[in-house]
């Protein structure tokens, strides 16, 4: 085989490898909709289990997913800051570059909740799993408004008990690595709950799973980093204007290498931002 044949075969091999890995990972992901519902039903019916147990199921399921990711794609290395996994009783504000970001956050924390696009609650089976997980609809209007209010009111006790609320306040994934405009919902919830805000930087998940694509890119080298880049204490969250707290969080992410436009509410996305695609 001459050099030109090798040059031609490499892209084909890489494409075949990406396809095979994509099929395996999507098979794992979709299998959850087949095998997990009985466990969700049992947890939902058990008075002593409920949302906490369902959240643990979610976390363990996605830990298995990322263990498979690591085994299949060794060219992608992972650096998760221990300071992130140690976070408790906080609102996590994160940048958003890939569909993987939300399930990565779920994998990191047994006790978690998040804001989800309201339309996803309408999907059969999946919507029920979102409800039973205790997740919060992002829209403060429509038929899910009551559920959102109920979940936000319960958030104070949830956070006080050691749970975390993670949110992507941009409301959508960045296509160019820059921060989008922030929505104020997460910051209002933090103020309501008098909870600390932890600012978390996520890098390079989009190199593994690109926006607007359902295929995984197996080839490295790549380092995926999850890092705690700042904190805002409950006193500042409660006393400072929401706009100032938003600006502080943006500045922390900007200092970590995520530049973007000035902080302003995004009128094109739900008021609370979103975490699920």
| pLDDT on residue 212 | 82
Instruction: Give the Cα separation of 272 and 27 in Å (integer).
Output: 31
| pLDDT on residue 275 | 44
| pLDDT on residue 48 | 81
Please count the other Cβ atoms lying within 10 Å of the Cβ belonging to residue 177.
14
The predicted-structure confidence for 6-42, as pLDDT tens digits, reads as follows: 555 678 888 999 999 999 999 999 999 888 889 889 9
| pLDDT on residue 47 | 77
Please state whether the predicted TM-score (pTM) of the whole model is above 0.85. yes
| pLDDT on residue 77 | 97
User: What residues of the chain score a pLDDT lower than 70?
Assistant: 1-9, 261-277
The predicted-structure confidence for 39-62, as pLDDT tens digits, reads as follows: 889 988 887 888 999 999 999 999
How distant, in Å, are the alpha carbons of 31, 131, 133 from that of 49?
Answer: 23, 15, 11
| pLDDT on residue 7 | 55
Instruction: Give the Cα separation of 164 and 24 in Å (integer).
Output: 30
| pLDDT on residue 50 | 86
| pLDDT on residue 8 | 59
| pLDDT on residue 276 | 41
């Amino acid at each position: 085989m001459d050099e030109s044949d090798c040059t031609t075969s490499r892209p084909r091999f890489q494409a075949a490898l990406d396809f095979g890995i994509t099929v395996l990972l999507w098979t794992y992901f979709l299998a959850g909709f087949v095998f997990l519902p009985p466990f969700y039903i049992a947890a939902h019916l058990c008075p002593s289990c409920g949302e906490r147990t369902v959240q643990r199921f979610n976390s363990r399921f996605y830990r298995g997913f990322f263990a498979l990711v690591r085994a299949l794609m060794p060219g992608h290395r992972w650096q998760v800051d221990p300071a992130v996994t140690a976070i408790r009783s906080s609102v996590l504000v994160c940048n958003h570059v890939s569909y993987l970001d939300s399930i990565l956050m779920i994998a990191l924390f047994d006790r978690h909740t998040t804001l989800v696009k309201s339309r996803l609650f309408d999907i059969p089976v999946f919507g029920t799993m979102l409800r039973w997980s205790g997740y919060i609809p992002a829209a403060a209007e429509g038929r899910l408004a009551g559920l959102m209010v109920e979940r936000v009111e319960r958030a104070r006790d949830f956070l006080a008990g050691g749970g975390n609320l993670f949110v992507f306040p941009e409301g959508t994934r960045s296509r160019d690595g820059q921060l989008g405009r922030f929505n104020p919902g997460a910051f209002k919830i933090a103020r309501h709950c008098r909870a600390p805000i932890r600012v978390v930087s996520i890098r390079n998940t989009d190199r593994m799973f690109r926006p607007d694509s359902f295929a995984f890119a197996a080839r490295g080298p790549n380092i995926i980093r999850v890092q705690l880049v700042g904190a805002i204490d409950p006193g500042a969250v409660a006393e400072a204007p929401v706009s100032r707290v938003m600006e502080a969080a943006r500045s922390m992410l900007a200092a970590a290498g995520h530049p973007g436009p000035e902080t302003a509410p995004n009128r094109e996305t739900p008021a609370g931002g979103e975490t699920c695609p």
